[in-house]
Amino acid sequence: MNRKVTVLDYLEENYRSIAEKTAVSDESGEISWGELRNRSLALSEGILSRPDMEGIKIPIVIFMEKSIAHVISIYGCLYSGNFYVPVDINTPEDRLRSILSTLKDYRVLTDEKNLEHMKNIVEDKDILLIGELLSAVSEDSDFSATKKRLKLLTDFSLMYIIFTSGSTGTPKGVAVRHRSVMDYIESFMDEIGMEREDVCGNQTPFYADMSLKDLYMTLASGAELCIIPTRFFSFPLKLLQYMEEKRISYCMWVPTVYRIVAQFKALSKLRPSKLRTVCFSGETMPLSVFEYWRENYPDIDFWQLYGPSEITGSCSFYKVDNRRIYEDIIPIGKPYRNTGMILMDNEEIIPLSDTGRKGEICVYGSCLAAGYYNDDERTEASFSPLPGELGYKERMYHTGDLAYYDSEGNFVFAGRADYQIKHMGRRMEPGEIEAAAEALDGIDACCLIHNKEKDDLILYYIGGASAKDISNALRAKLPSYMLPNGYRQTETLPLLPNGKVNRKELDAIENEKGKEE
């Protein structure tokens, strides 16, 4: 039996069986599986040819736009025996420096377009330029350095680090091993599947863990990954035209994108003819949006997926019943095989028979991340010992999400146990945004609230700063998706007896106001 040890074994398999088939396409062109494999190997060989890269395994930050070159960079890093860290090229400098500080020892892989920007942040010796590395390797190379490094890789080797929001103002680096991604691939393909003939339309940035579905399910199935230009997601008709032109059959997007199409009734103008599978994750799908898509595609498959970054992609799935009328919310379903999910009410495990009782979702199994990179304290806080009756010295991850069981044994999402926010499909800690705002002149105190009806971030604050000044200052500190959508200046913030801001009271005020508006 040819056992797969790392995700690269899937790429090698495609190289042997479908080398000429298109693997990845973007606005500039396309690349076959054979070309993708060979260029990734060449990049790896270029990386390993540097004297400073000999005999080490370190994080390689990928700093470039989402593209075919970005995909080559991912596999090139993996072939070199290192692990990759995808970063948004629009990341504010302060946050980028915080990420690099957490990584400590690293290299940055970038392209000519972003080279000068990186030179202002890191030392020249730590920069890897993709064009130079590829051109330094001859066409008849036997890739000997890469082959040597591959022998040292196991399924326990780190594969990537994705940074998420942190409550203290410091981003958290979720570190994931090859085994976890391979387990996710196997689980997804068993339950949901993807065919070699599919064209998967990518929406999610590669620095977000939702992109794992696009990258690695197309890798496992041999389907085509079609990178849709980001700008099209603001123009529904152009998006649908691109889908039709590229014959996209498979979509795994955040509900926000489906919502935009529904708001503009765009499917009445153009209905992509090849679409057969629609997955939504990152947040629960609003029923009105789902109904719009189901009306236009009554015979295709719809799937609700659930899972935070710390459990590698998604841990549960639910195939939506196209004939069922859902009254309030679509369930997030049941765990994949080889994934454990339980509901905890303090120290008590809620039994499946206790329907309707809310508890925190906790997840265990090989899907779990290795932890937060170089951050033992936060790792220990979020990953705790699994109750003894469920396993021996295993860990589980506390998601902070609440859910309950329905009569069919499905998990039904019921909000957050803490104050973490889901905005536009992304999880974020209000504390990181608040820390950035409170560091500004003219703000004495603040509290971020999520307007759930509009999916807006609203910053309540005390101080003399104007909303315009705060907004302009935060743009230099936070990524665009974390910027508040509105600002509410106030003389006081409601407090709890312990002196902390009463978030629940502000939340009630904001969301009741949202309903009235």
The count of C-alpha atoms lying within 13 angstroms of the C-alpha of 261, restricted to the half-sphere facing its C-beta, is 26
Residue listed under structure tokens 């498959």: 301
Same domain, yes or no: 378 and 243: yes
Alpha carbons 261 and 295: distance in angstroms, whole number: 13
Q: What is the average pLDDT score of the chain? A: 93
Residue 492 pLDDT greater than 70, yes or no: yes
Banded pLDDT at 416 (limits 50, 70, 90): confident
Span 370-387, average pLDDT: 96
pLDDT tens, residue by residue, 40-50: 999 999 999 99
Same domain, yes or no: 335 and 214: yes
Same domain, yes or no: 435 and 403: no
Bridge partners of 403, per DSSP, are: 359, 413
Residue listed under structure tokens 């999402």: 413
More confident residue, 14 or 402: 14
Residue 172 placed within a domain = no
What amino acid occupies position 287?
Answer: L
Residue 168 placed within a domain = no
Same domain, yes or no: 383 and 438: no
Instruction: Report the largest interatomic distance among the alpha carbons of the chain, rounded to a whole angstrom.
Output: 72
Same domain, yes or no: 353 and 464: no
Same domain, yes or no: 394 and 441: no
pLDDT at 167: 59
Please report, to the nearest 10 degrees, the dihedral formed by the alpha carbons of residues 312, 229, 420, 286 taken in order. Answer: -100
Give, in order, the Cα–Cα distances in Å from 517 to each of 311, 401, 447, 513: 37, 28, 21, 6
CATH number of the domain enclosing 79: 3.40.50.12780
Q: Is 0.85 surpassed by the pTM of this model?
A: yes
Side by side, the strands of the sheet bearing 334-335 are 29-32, 22-26, 224-227, 199-202, 250-253, 277-280, 301-306, 316-319, 334-335
Same domain, yes or no: 384 and 476: no
Same domain, yes or no: 123 and 207: no
Joined tokens for residue 4: 């797969």
Same domain, yes or no: 397 and 433: no
pLDDT at 1: 59
Alpha carbons 22 and 372: distance in angstroms, whole number: 35
Residue 232 pLDDT greater than 80, yes or no: yes
pLDDT at 265: 94
Same domain, yes or no: 375 and 508: no
- Between 29-38, 247-256, 278-287, 364-373, the lowest mean confidence (pLDDT) is in 278-287
- Please say whether the beta carbons of 163 and 173 come within 8 A: yes
Other residues' Cβ atoms within 10 Å of the Cβ of residue 241: 16
Give, in order, the Cα–Cα distances in Å from 31 to each of 22, 27, 28, 218, 388: 6, 12, 10, 14, 49
Residue 510 CB partners (closer than 8 Å, separation 6+): 449, 450, 451, 458, 460
Span 156-163, average pLDDT: 97
Residue 368 pLDDT greater than 80, yes or no: yes
More confident residue, 297 or 327: 297
Alpha carbons 312 and 403: distance in angstroms, whole number: 19
Where is the domain boundary, 134, 153, 172?
Answer: 153
Neighbour-count burial for 3-38, b at 16+ CB within 10 Å, e otherwise = ebebbbbbbbbbbeeeeeebbbbbeeeebbbbbbbb
The parent domain of residue 373 ranges over 180-422
CATH number of the domain enclosing 498: 3.30.300.30
pLDDT tens, residue by residue, 13-45: 999 999 999 999 999 999 999 999 999 999 999
Same domain, yes or no: 418 and 443: no
Residue 107 placed within a domain = yes
Alpha carbons 444 and 2: distance in angstroms, whole number: 62
Span 412-417, average pLDDT: 83
Where is the domain boundary, 397, 422, 447?
Answer: 422
Residue 418 pLDDT greater than 80, yes or no: no
Where is the domain boundary, 355, 390, 422?
Answer: 422
What pairing do the DSSP bridges indicate for beta strands 199-202 and 383-385? unpaired
Residue 158 placed within a domain = no
Please report, to the nearest 10 degrees, the dihedral formed by the alpha carbons of residues 361, 181, 81, 140 taken in order. Answer: -160
Joined tokens for residue 262: 């529904």
Joined tokens for residue 418: 């803490």
Q: How far apart are the first and last CA of the chain?
A: 62
> Between vectors from CA 116 to CA 113 and to CA 120, what angle results, nearest 5°?
145
Domain count, the chain: 3
Residue 453 placed within a domain = yes
pLDDT tens, residue by residue, 442-470: 887 889 999 988 899 999 999 899 999 99
Same domain, yes or no: 46 and 148: yes
Please report, to the nearest 10 degrees, the dihedral formed by the alpha carbons of residues 236, 241, 247, 248 taken in order. Answer: -10
Residue 346 placed within a domain = yes
Bridge partners of 211, per DSSP, are: none
Residue 167 placed within a domain = no
Is residue 236 within a helix (H) or strand (E), and if so which, with residue range?
A: helix 236-245
Span 217-229, average pLDDT: 98
pLDDT tens, residue by residue, 302-312: 999 999 999 99
Residue 175 placed within a domain = no
